[in-house]
Chain A
Amino acid sequence: MSAAEVSVRRRRGSFGRLFASEVHLVFGRRRNQVGLLVLFGLVTMLGVALKVSAMRHPGDRGGDLFSLVAGNGVFLGFAGLTIEIALFLPLAVSVLAGDAVAGEANLGTLRYLLVAPVGRGRLLVVKACALGVGALTGAVLVALAGVLVGVLLFGAGPLITLSGSQIGLGDGLLRLLLAALYVAVGLAALGMIGLFISTLTEQPIAATVATAMVSTLLWILDAVPQLDWLHPWLLVDRWSAFIDLLRDPVFTDRMVTGLWVDIAYGAVFLFAAWLRFRVKDITS
């Protein structure tokens, strides 16, 4: 049978098949599984630390998020997102982004994907979607870990909002899910920066380190008061705004602006990655 007799038309569902293959590859990798365990473990550590502290100083309750955990385990989900949003979640996304293109280039598998032929734009979109899934998994896992560990250690019940009012458990869990989704969008935007960097090198570690450095640098810039004119333009500036979900009524202004900033960063860097990857000589 000659290949000419075989259809060379694109089949329906081929994108889904490639996407499934990519997700399978990312989550099947032992290192990434360990990474998820680490994200989970950090929330557990935080929960245990707060439990020990609560047992030592019963009744000593401030008004901040960490003190609220002692009253209701569901708050550990929010607290977990708060402690992991600056370093650990961005690091996890950086690792995935480093692998995305540079990892395939480093193994040499990139050339075989391209002669398959995967299509450069199609591959980039699949990689971007997989990074989105990775970001979502990380954020949701941290929130979920918070609920599991928190409820186990502190019990569950209605939540006291930062505004002092009380909301039901279901409402609280829904707000936690929204917080995780909001964090995931920001992380996905960082993932697009990482994807762009990943198209510049054949060394996954270099791409990972560079992406993590970009994230850290943005956090540092965001913490320098003298640069307050710059802050609204920084990707990470409104990442912590998910805490507004714990106000009553929910304060959405910062989050909406934050989402637009995330989307703008994501679009610009995905486009930059495409401009670079489209013409790149694959010599690996």
Chain B
Amino acid sequence: MSSAPPAIASDGLGKRFGRQQVVADLALDVPKGACYGFIGPNGSGKTTTIRMLLGLVRPDGGSCSLLGEPMPSAAASVLPRVGALVEGPAFHPYLSGTANLLRVDAADPTSDPATARSRVGSALERVGLSAAAGKRYRAYSLGMRQRLGIAAALLQPRDLLVLDEPTNGLDPQGTREVRHLVAGLAAEGTTVFVSSHLLAEVEQLCDHIGVMREGRLVAQGPLAELEGLRAQRFRLQTADVAAARGVLSGLGVQDASEATDGLAGSLSGVEPERIVRALVEAGVAVRGFAVVRPTLEEAFVELTGEGFDVSG
């Protein structure tokens, strides 16, 4: 384990808008060099968290740091090393793609004006927008706008990329390209923090995952570790539900629920062979017994409680 400070860390981070607690007690830990997937349903507080990390929104409580320096106080020295796409692209509609990127570049006091044109050119090329560089932003399609937003994040070599829903609005081909681009950047050593409500996307791209639910981080860690956390479940087929339930609770398996033709529930750490033997010895007629490992998708739904619906 390296002693390098985490790329993103937060402690007790919280934000309330009016009466609603949008983010509460958030303790993010994004290791340097990681590709971190920040997932959760729409409205679970992902974008507000990103805004707090980048110093756009002031937290009501807690602290956060980027690349080892406290935010928002160190914004001037940290943010030039951070590329960000926050809640979709936003540019001046009557300026061209190139002019828009030059403006963003001019806003950064550390950027070199002598290389601005070439950096803008290569950022546009990197996202495949060279042909539309001179077009006005208002004439861009949704996918082109998204690409321009990503290009703005790539104007400088970055140590950290914060990408909020980077494939929003892209067609499948564009999605693949962006995924490829992000994977390439991560392979170069850039820490990538990517938020998404699409689990499949994060699963393919990321090695670390944080799961948000109603403003709280309900799970966080290396993807492999989280997969291990996926609770094993059983499905028991029997006509003898009442007797089976008695046996199960005797073994400490409490939360079995009635399924179509039997019971289903979490194994609660009890070995399946013990359960089967106990059931048979107790004279319960077992028609079938299966151990089911939920897909990551199912685990996600379990963690967030509500799948991909909008959080209130």
Is B135 located at the chain interface by the 8 A CB criterion? no
| Interface presence of A282 (CB below 8 A) | yes
Q: Which of A5, A17, A30, A281 contacts B94 (CB 8 A)?
A: A30
Q: Give the bracket for the number of chain B residues in contact with chain A.
A: 35 or more
* Nearest chain B CB to A13 CB, angstrom units: 7
The 7 closest A-B pairs by CB, nearest first: A108-B90, A117-B79, A116-B107, A118-B107, A14-B109, A21-B106, A3-B81
Task: Among A4, A25, A114, point to the contact of B55 (Cβ < 8 A).
Answer: A114
| Structural contact, B109 and A112, CB atoms closer than 8 A | no
Q: Which of B54, B81, B92, B189 is within 8 Å of A8, CB to CB?
A: B81
From A21, which residue of chain B is reached at the shortest CB distance? B106
Q: Do B81 and A108 have beta carbons less than 8 Å apart? A: no
Tell me the chain A residues, 1-47 only, with Cβ under 8 Å from chain B. Answer: 1-11, 13-15, 17-18, 20-21, 25, 28-30
Residues of A218-247 at the interface with B, using a CB-CB cut-off of 8 Å, are none
* Inter-chain contact A9/B103, CB cutoff 8 Å: no
Report A11 CB to chain B, min CB distance, Å.
6
Binds A, one of B151-159, B207-215, B242-250: B151-159
Check A164 for interface membership: any CB of B closer than 8 A: no
Pick the contact of B79 from A20, A115, A279, A282 — CB < 8 Å? Answer: A115
* Contacting pair B113 A111 (CB below 8 A): no
Interface residues on chain A, number (Cβ under 8 Å): 40
B111 in the interface, Cβ–Cβ < 8 Å?
A: yes
- Chain A neighbourhood of B51, CB < 8 A: 111, 281-283
Q: Does B102 contact A (CB under 8 A)?
A: yes
* Contact call B77/A8, Cβ cutoff below 8 A: yes
Main secondary structure of the interface of B (DSSP, over half): loop
Complex interface: chain B residues within 8 A of A115 (CB):
54-56, 79, 82, 84, 86
- A contact set with B: CB distance below 8 Å: 1-11, 13-15, 17-18, 20-21, 25, 28-30, 107-109, 111-119, 122-123, 279, 281-283
Q: Which of A17, A114, A116, A283 contacts B113 (CB 8 A)?
A: A17
* Chain A residues, CB < 8 A from B113: 11, 13-14, 17
B88 proximity list for chain A (CB < 8 A): 108
Q: Which residue of B lies closest to A107 (CB)?
A: B90
From residue 104 to 137 of chain B, which have CB atoms closer than 8 A to chain A? 104-113
Per the bound structure, the CA–CA distance linking A262 and B109 in Å amounts to 31
Task: Check if B110 sits within 8 Å of A109, measured CB to CB.
Answer: no
Q: 13 A-B pairs, CB-CB below 8 angstroms?
A: A3-B156, A6-B80, A8-B77, A8-B110, A108-B87, A109-B90, A111-B87, A115-B54, A116-B108, A117-B75, A281-B51, A281-B56, A281-B58
In the complex, which residues of chain A have a beta carbon less than 8 angstroms from the beta carbon of B76? Answer: 10, 117, 119
- Which residues of B lie under 8 Å from residue A282 when comparing CB positions? 51, 56-57
Distance in angstroms between the alpha carbons of A122 and B76 in the assembled complex: 11
Q: Which of A2, A13, A25, A122 contacts B159 (CB 8 A)?
A: A2
Taking CB atoms and an 8 Å cut-off, the chain B residues in 63-110 that contact chain A are 75-77, 79-82, 84, 86-95, 102-110
Given A115-B84, A115-B86, A117-B80, also A283-B106 (CB < 8 A):
no
Q: Is B111 a contact of A11 with CB atoms below 8 Å?
A: yes
Assess the A116–B157 pair: CB atoms within 8 A.
no
Chain B residues in 8 Å Cβ range of A8:
77, 80-81, 110
Does B109 contact A122, Cβ atoms closer than 8 Å? yes
CA distance A28 to B81 in the complex (A): 31
Chain A CB within 10 Å — which of B94, B104, B109, B152 has the most? B109
Residue B92 contacts which of A1, A3, A4, A25 (CB distance < 8 angstroms)?
A25
